[in-house]
Amino acid sequence: MLETDVRYLKGVGPARSRQLAKLDIHTVGDLLLHVPAQYRDRRVITPIRNLIPGEESNVSGTVVSSGLWKSRKGKRVFQVELEDNSSGRIKLSFFNWKYIAGRLQPGSEVIASGKIDFFGGLSIVHPDLIFLNDESVESPLVLPVYPLTAGITQGIMRKLMTSAIEKYVSHVCEILPAEVLNSYGFQRRAEVVREVHFPVDPPQGEQARKVLALEELFLFQSILNRVRINASLRPRILIAPPPDTLSTFLQKLPYELTNAQEKAVRKITDELSRDIPMRRLLQGDVGSGKTVIAAAACALCCAAGYQVAVVAPTEVLAAQHYKTLRGMLEPMGIRCDLLTGGTTGSQRKSISESLKEGSLDVLIGTHAVFEDTVIIPGLGLCIIDEQHKFGVEQREKLLAGRQPCPHLLIMSATPIPRTLAMTVYGDLDITLIDEMPPGRGKIHTRVMDRDKRTEVYSSLQERLELGERAYIVYPLREASEELDLKDATTSFHVLRDGPLGKYNVGLLTGAMKASEKLDVTSRFTSGQISVLVSTTVIEVGLDVPEATVMIVVNAERFGLSQLHQLRGRIGRGINDSWCFLMKGSQCGIESAQRLSVLASTENGFRIAEKDLELRGPGEIIGTKQHGIPAFRIASLITDAELIEKASELASGSESGPHLLQEYRLRFGHLDIPGI
């Protein structure tokens, strides 16, 4: 019943259903879950003399005059003057007035609710009304206020919701255990749905919203829990290398691991030898040293006779991993190779043959590694870096059909608040690298106005004269007619032909061919290029210790977490580094305050918390289109305490068919093998 198309609901029809679709309302079930953003409590009356323009308020008084007037555009407007016992007066204006004019006559007593305007005096346009001297009409004192779209008014939405509740609310199925509902003061889910839309008071409505938010998080956590259980039942691979493998690997490193890195290596070593496939997220801030932990896992796996796939989202990052891992693993006799979209046919054939005969141990690349034509017969471990742009469905598809199931290690340098990590990675165990390697210079971050460009580029030239290198990042690849912003391509030509040209300037954008990207990044890494002009394609993947300057142009166009990732490209050597965040001419006060957050701390988790508060989870972790579902009711900011509660409930319950069906109704198609 709840899957009934909303256009068949009384008062909808084809035209209005298209309007509702803009609110992601397609079925009656969707409509019932379109909860109010707030409530208007008409029991709270403000004296007219205390009204403040711009605020939503309720006034109570007696009509002292009414009549028709012509607006400046010639339209007829019905206006009423209302007076309360504080001797204040306010005008009520109605453009669609025929339905109301007969009732709003002098002497009528009403409560009027709406946004206070000031046009030649206090006024409200089309207020909600309660007629106090008309006992035959029941008017609720608490009104739901919904998110709307063009063509849908609050009145229309309330009527539709009343109709849907009357006919369909008895068909909603129970989701949360009865004892949980009882703890919030409800007996049945139908009661919760009624109360969230038409509560007796706002606190009761908020209580009902919390229950619906909890069940939404519970549904998602139940799916993650089922994925985890299914993974634990798959045929396992036991990684049992010679006892001295790890110690030999660590002895060949030119540095010692930090305490956090040692703990992570011990945890992963233990899990590789367990009878359950490892599913672990290795999370650490930029520059915290996750790659060496991945290399240790590769060494253990290959020494036990298995192969490893290391996957990165871009050619730039894949090439960087290839260079770094090969340097650590080849001294152990472990052979590595690189496969990306730019790999030639003959190279692919050679890689394929090496994999089949077992002479290639570690294949590093982009998602080309998972193409059907790439067969890794001895795959024992899959390492995926910066995979936060993919949700649980994508993770499971990567492992689907691989028997026995390889171990999975996901790495992410995107700091994610704990509650958000529980939602995005609830099917994984999490290891946090919370310690930075010693011996690195300090990063100085400064927010600069455009008129300080001379000062910034003067500092840049000083560093270049010392043999250091720099990134200059732009928000656009090419010029835009719609946006008055600097772009990378135009600026590259200007900088190359100017004073910086003698230091050699390179250009890197996402639109370049893979071979072109690898060429320019290798020349920057080797020092043939000292200034790299780029878009955010360098956000991850480049590790150049000599790079000490980062200039981000129109920095207000980037999110905080993205800026933190960009800043992580510098500060990788022993010298101090400088990050200049250049504000554009259109940068507002709010954007400037955001940038000051970045300048005040290098703690990625504090920055991520602020970014979550300002922008929402999807934009922080890149999952707006792919990863976590768009929750209709739950907020990962204000409902943080419910996430842990939902996780506890899910771990102790069976995700039966009705929960899977409800999940699909709520979040859409669910395509996870075995679910």
pLDDT at residue 624, as a whole number: 46
Please say if the pLDDT value at position 7 is more than 80. Answer: yes
The per-residue pLDDT for range 317-353, each reduced to its tens digit, is 888 899 999 999 999 999 999 998 888 889 999 999 9
Residues 270 and 363 in one domain: yes
Question: CA nearest 33: which of 147, 134, 115, 131?
Answer: 147
| Average predicted confidence (pLDDT) for the chain | 86
pLDDT at residue 540, rounded to an integer: 60
Give the span between the Cα atoms of 552 and 460, in whole angstroms: 13
Q: Does residue 580 share a domain with residue 508?
A: yes
Between CA 490 and CA 494 the distance in angstroms is: 7
Last residue of a domain, one of 414, 433, 452: 433
Q: Where are the alpha helices (DSSP H) in 338-477?
A: 345-357, 392-399, 418-424, 453-465
Mean predicted confidence (pLDDT) in 496-505: 92
> Does the structure show a pLDDT above 60 at 561?
yes
Half-sphere exposure of 457 (CA within 13 A, CB side): 13
Query: Does residue 18 belong to any structural domain of this protein?
Result: no
Q: 162 lies in a domain?
A: no
> Where residue 531 falls among pLDDT bands split at 50, 70, 90?
very high
Q: Are residues 564 and 643 in the same domain?
A: no
Question: What's the pLDDT tens digit per position in 224-281?
Answer: 888 888 877 877 788 999 999 999 999 999 889 999 999 999 999 999 998 788 989 8
Has residue 619 got a pLDDT over 60?
Answer: no
Domain membership of residue 663 (yes or no) is yes
Q: Last residue of some domain: 578, 604, 630?
A: 604
Could you give phi then psi for residue 92, rounded to 5 degrees? -110, 125
> Is pLDDT at 100 greater than 70 in this prediction?
yes
Query: What is the reported pTM?
Result: 0.74
What is the number of domains present in the chain?
Answer: 4
Report yes or no on 414 lying in a domain: yes
Instruction: Say whether 459 sits in a helix, a strand or coil.
Output: helix
Span 593-613, mean pLDDT?
A: 81
What confidence tier does 288 reach under pLDDT thresholds 50, 70, 90? confident
Q: Which residue has the higher pLDDT, 552 or 138?
A: 552
3-state secondary structure of 288: coil
C-alpha atoms less than 13 angstroms from C-alpha of 626 in its C-beta half-sphere = 12
Q: Say what percent of the chain tops pLDDT 70.
A: 92
Same domain, 323 and 396: yes
Is residue 511's pLDDT more than 50?
A: yes
| Residue 577 placed within a domain | yes
CA distances (Å), origin 123, targets 15, 45, 106, 127: 33, 16, 17, 10
Largest CA distance in the chain: 96
The whole-number average pLDDT for the span 299-315 is 92
Cis before 404 (ω within 30):
yes
- Residue 522 counted as domain residue: yes
Residue ranges making up the domain that contains 572? 443-604
- Inside any domain, residue 487: yes
Q: Which of 122, 140, 158 corresponds to the end of one domain?
A: 140
Same domain flag for 386 and 449: no
Q: Residue 654's pLDDT is what?
A: 65
Look at 1-10, 379-388, 518-527, 548-557 and tell me which has the smallest mean pLDDT: 379-388
- For residue 611, what is the enclosing H or E element? helix 604-615
Convert the pLDDT of each residue in 211-224 to its tens digit: 999 999 998 888 88
| Cα–Cα distances in angstroms (integers) from residue 32 to residues 38, 180, 218, in the given order | 16, 21, 18
pLDDT of residue 404: 85
pLDDT at 441: 86
What CATH code is carried by the domain that includes residue 66?
Answer: 2.40.50.140
Same domain, 220 and 334: no
Does the CA dihedral 609-615-617-622 come out positive or negative? negative
Same domain, 373 and 267: yes
Helices (H), 401-466: 418-424, 453-465
180-206 pLDDT, tens digit each? 999 999 999 999 999 999 999 999 999
381, 617 Cβ separation under 8 angstroms: no
My answer on whether 593 and 468 are in the same domain is yes
Task: Let me know if residue 24 belongs to a domain.
Answer: no
One domain for residues 107 and 219: no
Same domain, 454 and 319: no
pLDDT above 80 (res 620) = no
The encoded tokens of residue 656 equal 């039966």
Q: Is the torsion defined by CA of 596, 597, 598, 603 positive or negative?
A: positive
Q: Determine what percent of the chain is predicted with pLDDT higher than 90.
A: 47
Q: What is the DSSP letter of 657?
A: H
Residues 554, 647 share a domain: no
Residues 376-410: tens digit of each pLDDT = 999 999 999 875 555 677 677 777 777 788 999 99
Are 470 and 428 members of one domain? no
Whether the pLDDT of residue 623 is over 50: the answer is no
Point out the least confidently predicted range of 30-44, 65-79, 296-310, 384-398: 384-398
Residue 536: closest CA among 554, 515, 518: 554
Highest mean pLDDT: which range of 402-411, 619-628, 661-670: 402-411
Can you give the three-state secondary structure of 219-280, one letter per residue?
HHHHHHHHHHHHHHCCCCCCCCCCCCHHHHHHHCCCCCCCHHHHHHHHHHHHHHCCCCCCEE
Do residues 665 and 671 lie in contact, with contact meaning Cβ atoms separated by under 8 Å?
no
The CATH number that applies at residue 278 is: 3.40.50.300
Q: Which of residues 665 and 187 earns the better pLDDT score? A: 187
Residues 6+ apart with CB under 8 A from 90: 48, 51, 59, 61, 81, 82, 112, 116, 121, 122, 123, 124
